[in-house]
């Protein structure tokens, strides 16, 4: 039995979708445990591209896909995804997709509040995806949230909407000078979603437990990345959930004893979308070149991703916070053609070297990356499927990452396609 958690080690968009799709072949269940449709996970299969925001990336491998209680779900987006997949001939009936009855719903007022807050003060802007993620998690924590179990109880659902809308409309109109929303319209719209989604709603903790006891293998699909974690990321420039591996248990409803492997996805360089500190960010031609060659545009919002060198301070932080057992390094092909590459091994702060990631953003802003420069490679490596065939300098770059993070690399990705992969160790094997 092997149950693997896949997490992003940087600021998201490391290529989690590709790795989840690839490894799902060996899993029985694929479970999302946090985040919502702020995520954009790309899978490229047979030359065709699929971007999933809510449906777990195991769906193309025809696995049972589960949306855990820790996920915040916009039912409109979920139904669009279901319809899209049905249109592609993919079986996504209630035996293939299960949604936790305890998962919280993103409501129209969450989206309105997210965008109103972001546009109210440019200096305080986080650069959210505008999908209502933060306000939905706020309601969950303040016990005003609406869960799937409430969605299918018309009386409770309409009571909750009516109570919430009073407070939300006050905030929207009086504080943010934005427009009010109608409780009746929301109730009507969501009653249609309730009918369609009811067959998918289940007690997924019990379902997963039965699976674990009967030897089923589970893949947990993290969203965002370690440095967007609400506790451990670059707060307040973070998302509103715990993105690290420990939350796979809380967000799916199983105990930590059942997890066997934690695969940390590492982009061969670093990217970030939205605002917030980024010590190794590049503002020169090399940054532009990586952005273009790597097609670094957000899969959810289409925003240009900021690009920079690989940062071992954040990778070591990710190894510790997640208990990473192995790395999958992605987008290595994008670095081809550069004469030399920089690896950030630590930060210089007020004349001394620090190698732990600071919590204080003022300190972080003063940190200058300390770089080790290594030789690049010219070859196109996207066709290579064996480690030994990689150019010597590519292997040296990978070895140095392993040494500096004290973590083995188990998978190397050299292109977006499922098959464009060098698999050194399969966590399910």
Q: How many other C-beta atoms can be found within 10 angstroms of the C-beta atom of residue 183?
A: 19
Q: Decide if 39 contacts 53 (C-beta within 8 A).
A: yes
Work out the angle at residue 141's Cα, subtended by the Cα atoms of residues 136 and 262, and round it to the nearest 5 degrees.
Answer: 85
SS (H, E, C) 11-68: CCCCCHHHHHHHHHHHCCEEEECCECCCCCEEEEECCEEEEECCCCCCHHHCCEEEEC
Q: Is the omega angle on the peptide bond into residue 413 within 30 degrees of 0, that is, cis? A: no
Site string for ligand GDP, 301-340 (x = CB under 6 A): -----------------------------xx-xx------
Decide if residue 75 touches ligand GDP (CB under 6 A): no
Decide if residue 96 touches ligand GDP (CB under 6 A): no
Q: How far apart are CB 294 and ligand GDP at their closest, in Å?
A: 6
Decide if residue 97 touches ligand IMO (CB under 6 A): no
Choosing from 20, 23, 39, 411, the residue that interacts with ligand IMO (CB under 6 A) is 39
Q: How far apart are CB 224 and ligand GDP at their closest, in Å?
A: 8
CA separation (Å) from 169 to 109, 180, 320? 8, 5, 43
Site string for ligand GDP, 38-67 (x = CB under 6 A): --xxx-x-----------------------
Decide if residue 253 touches ligand IMO (CB under 6 A): no
Q: Which stretch binds ligand IMO (CB under 6 A): 219-227, 249-257, 360-368, 414-422?
A: 219-227
Q: Decide if 161 contacts 114 (C-beta within 8 A).
A: no
Secondary structure (3-state) at 290: helix
State yes or no: is 41 an active-site residue: yes
Work out the angle at residue 225's Cα, subtended by the Cα atoms of residues 221 and 229, and round it to the nearest 5 degrees.
Answer: 110
Decide if residue 410 touches ligand GDP (CB under 6 A): no
Distance from C-alpha of 424 to C-alpha of 422, rounded to nearest angstrom: 6
Question: Which of 13, 150, 261, 333 does the annotation list as catalytic?
Answer: 13
Binding residues for Mg ion restricted to 6-35, rule: CB under 5 A: 13
Decide if residue 40 touches ligand IMO (CB under 6 A): yes
Choosing from 273, 286, 299, 315, the residue that interacts with Mg ion (CB under 5 A) is 299
Q: Which stretch binds ligand IMO (CB under 6 A): 94-102, 159-167, 222-230, 369-377?
A: 222-230
Kindly give, in sequence order, each residue whose CB lies less than 8 Å from that of residue 98, ignoring residues fewer than 6 positions away.
Answer: 64, 65, 66, 67, 200, 201, 202, 204, 207
Q: Which of 354, 341, 328 is nearest to 265 (CA)?
A: 328
Give the one entry of ligand IMO, ligand GDP, Mg ion, none that residue 331 binds, where binding means its C-beta sits below a cut-off of 5 to 8 angstroms depending on kind.
Answer: ligand GDP
Choosing from 3, 6, 7, 13, the residue that interacts with ligand IMO (CB under 6 A) is 13
Torsion sign over Cα 316, 322, 327, 329: negative
* Orientation of helix 75-87 relative to helix 183-197, angle to 10°: 40
Choosing from 52, 128, 270, 317, the residue that interacts with ligand IMO (CB under 6 A) is 128
Q: How many residues contact Mg ion, by CB under 5 A?
A: 3
Decide if residue 267 touches ligand IMO (CB under 6 A): no
Choosing from 73, 401, 414, 422, the residue that interacts with ligand GDP (CB under 6 A) is 414
Decide if residue 13 touches ligand GDP (CB under 6 A): yes
Distance from C-alpha of 373 to C-alpha of 280, rounded to nearest angstrom: 13
Q: Which of 227, 390, 193, 189 is nearest to 308 (CA)?
A: 227
Question: Which of 21, 41, 104, 261 does the annotation list as catalytic?
Answer: 41
Distance from C-alpha of 21 to C-alpha of 33, rounded to nearest angstrom: 16
334: tokens are 């994008």
Residues of this chain that bind ligand IMO (CB under 6 A) = 8, 11-13, 38-41, 126-129, 131, 133-134, 223-225, 228, 239-240, 273-274, 299
Instruction: Summarize as ranges the residues that interact with Mg ion (CB under 5 A).
Output: 13, 40, 299
For ligand GDP, the binding residues (CB under 6 A) are: 8, 12-18, 40-42, 44, 299, 330-331, 333-334, 413-416
Q: What residues act catalytically?
A: 13, 41
């Amino acid at each position: 039995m092997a149950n693997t958690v896949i997490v992003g080690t940087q600021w998201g968009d490391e290529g989690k979708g590709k790795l989840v799709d690839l490894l799902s072949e060996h899993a029985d269940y694929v479970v999302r445990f946090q985040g919502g449709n702020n995520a954009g996970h790309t899978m490229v299969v047979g030359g065709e591209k699929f971007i999933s925001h809510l449906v777990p990336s195991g769906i193309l491998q025809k696995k049972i896909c589960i949306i855990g209680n820790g996920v915040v779900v916009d039912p409109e987006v979920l139904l669009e995804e279901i319809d899209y997949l049905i249109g592609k001939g993919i079986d996504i009936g209630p035996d293939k997709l299960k949604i936790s009855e305890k998962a919280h719903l993103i409501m129209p007022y969450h989206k309105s509040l997210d965008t109103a807050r972001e546009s109210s003060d440019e200096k305080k802007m986080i650069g959210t995806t505008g999908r209502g993620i933060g306000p939905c998690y706020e309601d969950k924590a303040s016990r005003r949230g609406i869960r799937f179990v409430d969605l299918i109880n018309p009386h409770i659902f309409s009571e909750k909407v009516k109570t919430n809308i009073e407070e939300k409309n006050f905030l929207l109109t009086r504080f943010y000078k934005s427009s009010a929303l109608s409780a009746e319209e929301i109730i009507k719209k969501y009653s249609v979603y309730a009918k369609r989604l009811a067959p998918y709603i289940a007690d997924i903790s019990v379902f997963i437990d039965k699976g674990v006891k009967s030897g089923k293998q589970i893949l947990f699909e993290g969203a965002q990345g370690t440095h967007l974690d609400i506790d451990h990321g670059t707060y307040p420039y973070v998302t509103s959930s715990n993105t690290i591996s420990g939350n796979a248990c809380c967000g799916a409803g199983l105990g930590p004893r059942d997890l066997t492997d934690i695969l940390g996805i590492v982009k061969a360089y670093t990217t970030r979308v939205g605002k917030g500190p980024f010590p190794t960010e590049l503002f020169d031609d090399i940054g532009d070149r990586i952005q273009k060659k790597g097609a670094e545009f957000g899969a959810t919002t289409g925003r240009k991703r900021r690009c920079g060198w690989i940062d071992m301070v954040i990778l070591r932080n990710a190894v510790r916070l997640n208990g990473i057992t192995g790395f999958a390094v992605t987008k290595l092909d994008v670095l081809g053609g550069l004469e030399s590459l920089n690896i950030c091994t630590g930060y210089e702060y007020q004349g001394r070297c620090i190698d732990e990631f600071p919590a204080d953003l003022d300190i972080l802003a003063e940190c200058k990356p300390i770089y080790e420069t290594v030789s690049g490679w010219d070859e196109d490596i996207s066709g290579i499927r064996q480690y030994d065939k990689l150019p010597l300098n590519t292997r040296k770059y990978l070895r140095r990452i392993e040494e500096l993070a004290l973590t083995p690399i188990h998978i190397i990705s050299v292109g977006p396609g499922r098959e464009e992969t060098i698999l050194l160790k399969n966590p399910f094997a």
